[in-house]
Every structure is written in C-alpha cells, then in structure tokens.
Structure 1
Amino acid sequence: MNLTEHLENIDWSFPNLSNSGIHSLHWYPATYIAAIPGTLIPAFTKKGDIVLDPFNGSGTTGVEAVRLGRNFIGMDTNPIALLMSEAKLYFPDPKSLRKQIDITINESENLFGTKLAEPHPHEEELRAWYHPDTLFILNRLLSSILETKSLQLKKCLLAIFSGILKNTSSQGRHWGWVCDNVKPKPSEIVPKDALLTFRNATNEYLKLTQLSHKAVQVHVDKETRTQTRSRYKLLAGDCVANMESIPNDHIDFIMTSPPYYGVADYVKSQRLSYLWFDKDELAAERLGFRDFEKLRSAESGARSNRSRKNSHELYMSFMASFFKQSFRILKNGSSMALVVGESQARASTTDELIFSAINQGFTLALRKERNIKISRRRLMAKVKCEDILIFIKN
C-alpha cells in the first residue's frame, strides 16, 4: 500500500480522540485535533526536518512536530496564540517553575506584609466581568507574575493566568459570548475562587509539561530541555511577510489550518486576556498585548469582518499570496497539508482555495472530508465538515 492509499483509508474524523495533555492548556477557537499533525508529520518528514505552521494558533502542530523529533517554525499575528504556544514548547525546569509558582501564590494569598497591587487600569470594565473579590485576587496574581525575573517563566505563568480568565469570570455561557463582548448581568456576578483555580492550573501545567518532555524523549533519547527548546521558533506577525524571509526550497513540510472565511474571531475570542494584559509593564516588553483593536480589524477572514466590502476577495487575495510563498519555500517533492472548512452561511471557499494553490504550481494529491464534533461546531458558525487537503510541490 502506497502513502496515498494509506492516507485515504484513515478516518480523519478521529471520533474517539480529543486533545489532551499539554494541548489542553488554554482554549483557542477552531483548533484541530493533535492526531492530524501527529499522523501527517511522520508520514511526510523524518527526524530533523523542518515543519512550518504559518497559522500557528494554539501550537498544536508545533507540539507534535517537536515531540516527533522535528524542527518547528510557527507564525501568528495573535500574541495570545504565541504566548500559549511558548508555554507548551518551552519545557521549563521543574524546580525553577515550582519555586516561582510558590512565590506567586504566596504573595497573592498573603494579604499582610506584602505590597498591595495597584488597581488595574481597566478595573471599572473588569468589574462588569468579575466579582470584586475575584478581581482583587486576579489583580494580585497578575502583579506578582509581572515581578518574575525570568521572561520565559513569566510567559509560562501569563499563559496559565490567561487560561483561567474565562472560568473565573461570571460569564457562564460559552466563549462566543465573551468574543462578542456580552457581559454577564449584574445579578449573575458571583465570586469565583481565583486563587484555587490558578493553583490547580499551575500544578496541572507543571505536571503536563514534564509529561510532554518525556514524550519528546521517547523519540529523541536523552534530549535535554535546552536541546528541545533549540528546535522551535515562534515568529510574530503576518505569515506572508515572515515567509518572505525564508530561503527558497528550505521547508520540508507545511502543516496548517488557514483561517476559515467568516467563521471565527481569533483575537476577539481572547478579549479578556487583552483586557487584563493592557498594562505598562507588559507593553515595555513589546509582547503586543495592547494591539487588540489593530489586530482585530486586520485579522484575515475573521467573522467580525465578513460584512466589509470585498472581504471575500481580500481573503482570497491573501491566500493566493500565502500559496505563492509556500510553493517557493518548500523543497521540491515536499508536501503541504491543510485543514480547511467553510460555513454554510458564508461564501464557499474550499474549491477556490484548491484552485488558487494549483494556480501557484501545487498538485492536489489528496482530499478527504472529516466530520467535526457538535460541541466544536457550535463555536464555528455552522461548520459541519472540514477537508484534509494534501498538496505536493513537484
């Protein structure tokens, strides 16, 4: 059985699997199941090859690529996506992380003998999302995290903090309500144990990141955390612009899921994180958390931009540029795998994307449909199915 026949026979819906382990660190919209890159990366690459995800998102491809002994480059315009990906891929030293977690929690729960945190600059707006007691503790936690000397450990703790912001808010409905800025009613504002939630989340992260590195060592025997960290790179900004700096014939495999036209709002879905992270201390480190409105308005294919004049044409033009750069940087004979989907309520795009890729020189080697779970579909504007597309650069 050749590779194409093997891939044809796979049930790409993976109905009995879900993302778990380090993949579950932080919620993000429209992510694909880790089994997809986990299946395709070993099929199309060997250890030491370079895997690129130009639409990095929550870092699912990166985690699988690094776990399997490949090198990885991820690109994204969303700083929150890069933050959570960094936390998944950094593999911090357990002792150093444990020490910093204890310092952060102790400073936050000890109301005596420590400097009280300054009120958050957006405290009034945050009160519309959080009970005052919850807001107080979250603000102390964030202030303590910001005093972390190690930038990498600080990023890990910020990612954990970001990951608990929805569940500690009083908006009990799904993420779409936060995305659309629908605040809870005053009667719905209730206290949440933010300190316990953060403590549990940090303990879980500490456990999962150690298990994740052990999974790496299954494929790369005795590799240290420092060596593993050297195998990934995360780049902020527009993927087409970033890809322009990559030499011709340099990448071994592209594994990604481009934004679905008019389906998801990746930046707006992290509204609470952008609100909390809009502070001078974080702006000084140039992590991009103050660019919420700029990022939201410029997001290619975003649901919130679907009513703009020529939005579909602009999206397809962007994707044509993406395919052009992808063809240039891939090695001859190498492949690109896309997970694509479309909403029944929006203009059809899958066939157009295939045509655009072929127009840039690619050959379509495989197209397989996969069903997606109803729970995930609810947040994806009536997207019932996705397609796995495999293109080859001949």
Structure 2
Amino acid sequence: MENLLQTLNQINWDFSDYSSTKYPLDLNSIPWYPATFPAPIPKFLIALLTKQGDTVLDPFGGKGTTAVESIKQNRQFIYNDLNPFAFDIANNIFQMMECCGNNRDVITRVYNEDILLLKNKNRTNEVDTYEGKNFEDISKYYPNDFLMRLENLNVNKDVILWYHVDTLIELLDIYEQLLSVTKEQTYFVRKFALVSILKETCSQRGHFTYVTDNCAPKKILYYNAISAYFAMLERIQLAFDDFFKQYYTVNEKNNILSLINKSQIYQGDARKLDWINDASVDLVVTSPPYLCAQDYVKTMRLTNFFFPTEEFKSSVANEIGSRSRRNGNPSIVVNDFYSAMNDVISEVNRVLKSKKYFCLIVGQGKGKITQDYDTVSDLINLIINNHGFEEIFRTSRKISYKVVRVGGVDYEEIIIFRKK
C-alpha cells in the first residue's frame, strides 16, 4: 500500500498537455463528446490497481475512454451508459475494433469506395454565408424537393437551421452512402466518420451548450463536409493502426478479439446494474455527472437529427443531475442527486470484489443551485458512511479548458476508495 500511495502521489494528475489536437491519433479523442476525462487518468489507474485479465467497470461510460484503456492493457471491460448516443459511439468503436481486428484494410477500402462517388461534386449554391434562425428565409436556398428528401431519409427538417445548404447536401450524400451498404462492418466505419464530423461542419461555432440549448446559429456558413469526412476517415485509420500497435507491443501473444468478446457493453441506468454479477468486478473507474453542469443527451442534438431515437426524451428525463434542473428548487434537486448517486454506489458496492478499488473523478458544479452545498465532500461521506468504503487517496486536478470544457468547473477530485 505504501508503494502504491507513493506512486499515486508522484503523478501529475492535471495532464494539461493532453488534448485531441496534440494526440489526434488517440482513439479516445474520436469523436467529440462533452466533459470527458483525459485518457491518462484511467490508463494510470488501471495499470496501478489491476492485473492482466481483470475486469474494469465504468457505469458512466461516456464514449468509452475507460473501456478503450482497459483493452489496451489486456483487461476485460464492462461499459454502461444511459445516453443512447454515448452508447452508440462506444458500440461503434468496439464494432470497428472487431472489424479491424479481422481485416486491417476495411477503413481504407471504405475510403477508396467513397472517394469515387463523393468527390468532385458541384455545389448547388455559390453563397458561402447567409442569415440563419428563420426557417422560411433559409428554405429559399434549398432545392424544391429537398424537404421531401429529408423526410424520405427520416432526417429532422430542423437540420437546415444548423448547416449550410451545400454542407447539408454533402452530409446527406454521405448518409445515403452509409444507408446503401450491405456489409455491416462498412456501415460502422461510415457512421463513425459521419457522426464525428457533425459538430465541426455545423454553423454554430459557439460553445457546445448552444447546441445543447437549441440555440441555432445566427449566420449559416459553408463548411466542406466531404473534405471533413475523408480527413476523418484518414484519422480513424491512423488511430486504429496506433491502437493495435500499442496493444500488440504490450500483449503480443493475446487475442484482442477474444478479449472484446469477453467484455460487455450495455445501455442502461447506472442505478440498476442487475445484469452484472455480484462481486465480479476488479476495479471501478468512473466520472459521474457533476450536479447541474451538463445535459449529455441534449448535447447530442446534431446526431439526433440524422439518427433519431425514441429514447431522446426519456433519457433526458432520467439523466442524473442534469444541467436542465439548474432552475429547480435547490434542496429537491440536490437531494434527488444524492439519492440517485446513493443507488449507483450501492450497485458499485455489490458488483465490486472485496479489497478491490473504486475510483471516482468528480467536480463541484457551479451555479446558484450548488453554491450552498459541497457535493464532492457529501458524496465522499455518502460512500464511506453509507457503503463502508475506505478512502485511501485523494487529489485535486486542474481542468484545462483547452482540453475539457466542463460547464463552469475549474477543478475536480480524484478519489480512490477500497472496499473492505
């Protein structure tokens, strides 16, 4: 234990140099997702607190950062997240991991097929910028049959408020190419690349909460979606090449496909993990929602235009501690958050093996609703007093806004507990 604590204290947990810009080949940096923790956090925790063959759980799995780092180190993972879009991102990553494990050329093949069909298409409108917000004014830039095309593809017509006409036509060309495929593996490649460029080709260039809050752009700007798509395919190819290189450098004799097949990926509520067996997990690493800091489901509004889900409203309603509750009665909102987290910790306690570790990365949300509460300390006390965990390590890390943009949060805590 003394050696472990010494090692933990020697790590600079800020990881201020980690970003998708500096590490574009890191699979964890694709695609964009709000308020993710840097990959080195689970990387170090998994390396220090588990051994090869162990099982790592993240009940708030997000886009799968903990799961990817588990695989890199030859640990089985259990992924869970309530957000259907987060689950879809993670599922795409691991479907593609299986595809590339069987055939490393699958992404290159998609690139070569698509470039023949999608490149060198003429634009329909020479205007690069026009006024936004007003549906009727925007519609005049579109071909007469365009709304019918959207309806036939089951794409929400509000999408025209967010993208330039030519950008959207290019996105729909990619989307139709995706829908035309018969091979499942190429579907996942195209979908992963398309979802990964929706934010960068959107005309709303403000903070991502503008998308969350349904604030359509005032100016509609043209961004070349075809170029962005092929650049993303190239980046995805390089990222998977780098991932497999890292894996087989450390795990030369192991079969990554077998490891993935032994792992579990699930979309569900972290308060009810009854699909996981008692005392079957060796490590829990997770970053739960910070109270009233984010609306994770609503942030995926652009994806929902193209890949709508009936679970959108129900997922928003069931999201723990969501930002949309920031105008509610503070005592009710905070107590609901503590109650929900108590249920989550109860499940973590049930599935975690004795003497094993639970790592919590959490920050204090800012705003009127949280100003009279110390939610981090309250959660720590809840974990210790209600569930009998022992705190063995705690440190504060500064969040770099160039790396992770968490609503109003400058610092977060990394706390490691051990189950007695």
**What residue number does 1:341 align with?**
363
| Separation of aligned partners in 2, 1:252 and 1:203 | 36
- Is 1:304 aligned to residue 309 of structure 2? no
Residue 237 of structure 1 aligns with which residue? 268
Is the contact between residue 104 and residue 145 of structure 1 (CA under 8 Å) also seen in structure 2? no
Asked if 1:369 corresponds to 2:369, the answer is no
Quick one: which amino acid aligns to residue 136 of structure 1?
I
Maintained 8 Å contact 2:397/2:413:
yes
Q: Specify which of 403, 406, 409 is matched with residue 383 of structure 1.
A: 409
Counting matched residue pairs gives 377
SS in 2 for 1:370: strand
Percent of paired sites with the same residue: 30
1:327 paired residue among 349, 369, 380: 349
* Distance in 1 of aligned mates of 2:91 and 2:418: 30
Does the residue aligned with 1:368 lie in a helix, a strand or coil? Answer: strand
Residue pairs, 1:41-120, within 5 angstroms:
41-89=46-94, 90-91=96-97, 92=100, 93-109=103-119, 119-120=149-150
Separation of aligned partners in 2, 1:137 and 1:18: 28
- Distance in 1 of aligned mates of 2:257 and 2:235: 22
User: Aligned letter for 1:353?
Assistant: L
Structure 1 position 124, deviation (Å): 3.4
The 2-side partners of 1:129 and 1:67 are apart by 37
Q: Tell me by how many angstroms 1:152 deviates.
A: 4.3
Q: 2:196 aligns with which of 163, 166, 171?
A: 163
Tell me the residue number matched to 1:203: 234
Give the secondary-structure state (helix, strand or coil) at the position aligned to 1:375: coil
Whether the 8 Å contact between 1:98 and 1:206 is mirrored in structure 2 is yes
Change (3 A) 1:393 1:102: same
Q: SS of the residue aligned with 2:150?
A: coil
Q: 1:210-225 to 2 correspondence within 5 Å?
A: 210-225=241-256
Q: Which residue of 1 aligns with 2:45?
A: 40
Match of 1:3 in 2: 4
SS state of the match for residue 169, structure 2?
helix
Bigger CA radius of gyration? 2
Aligned equivalents of 1:225, 1:108: Cα separation in 2: 34
Quick one: distance in 2 between partners of 1:374 and 1:198? 26
- Is the 2:75–2:259 contact (alpha carbons within 8 Å) kept by the matching residues of 1? no
Q: 1:18: which partner in 2?
A: 19
- Give the letter aligned to residue 156 of structure 1: V
Give me the whole-angstrom Cα distance separating, in 2, the residues matched to 1:74 and 1:292: 20
* Structure 2: distance between partners of 1:232 and 1:149: 27
User: Does residue 248 of structure 1 match 2:249?
Assistant: no
**Structure 1 counterpart SS, 2:277:** coil
* Gapped regions of structure 1 (runs ≥ 5): 279-288
Contact 2:160–2:168 (8 Å) recurs in 1:
yes
Pair 365,123 (structure 1): closer, same or farther in 2 beyond 3 Å: closer
1:127-166 aligned within 5 A: 127-166=160-199
Q: Is the 8 A contact 1:51 1:65 kept in 2?
A: yes
Please provide the CA RMSD for this pair.
Answer: 2.2
Unaligned runs of 5+ in 2: 123-144
Give the AA of the match of 2:402.
Answer: S
1:323/1:174 Cα in 2 relative to 1: closer, same or farther (>3 Å)? Answer: same
Distance 1:2 1:123, change over 3 A: closer
> SS where residue 149 of structure 2 aligns?
coil
| Superposed displacement of residue 24, structure 1 | 1.4
The one-letter code of the counterpart of 1:60 is T
- Is 2:19–2:402's contact at 8 Å kept on the other side of the alignment? no
- Cα deviation, 1:39-87, whole Å, max 9, x if unaligned, reads 1101110000000000000211111110011000110111221222233
CA shift in 2, pair 1:134/1:249, >3 Å: same
The equivalent position to 2:297 in structure 1, one of 251, 259, 267, is 267
1:27 is aligned to 32
TM-score for both structures, normalised by structure 1: 0.90
1: CA distance between counterparts of 2:84 and 2:108? 25
Residue 224 of structure 1, CA deviation: 4.4
SS of equivalent residue, structure 1 residue 315: helix
Asked if the contact 1:58/1:84 (under 8 Å) is kept, the reply is yes
Q: How far, CA to CA, are the matches of 1:150 and 1:306 in structure 2?
A: 45
Cα distance, 1:105 vs structure 2: 4.2
Q: What is the CA deviation profile of residues 194-233 of structure 1, one whole-angstrom value per residue up to 9, with x for unaligned ones?
A: 1111011011101211211111112211444533432432
Q: Alpha carbons of 1:104 and 1:120: their partners in 2 closer, same or farther (altered >3 Å)?
A: farther
| TM-superposed deviation, 1:175 | 1.3
User: How far apart, in 2, do the equivalents of 1:211 and 1:236 lie?
Assistant: 28
Q: Quick one: structure 1 residues 152 and 306, their matched pair in 2 at CA, closer, same or farther if it must change by over 3 Å?
A: farther
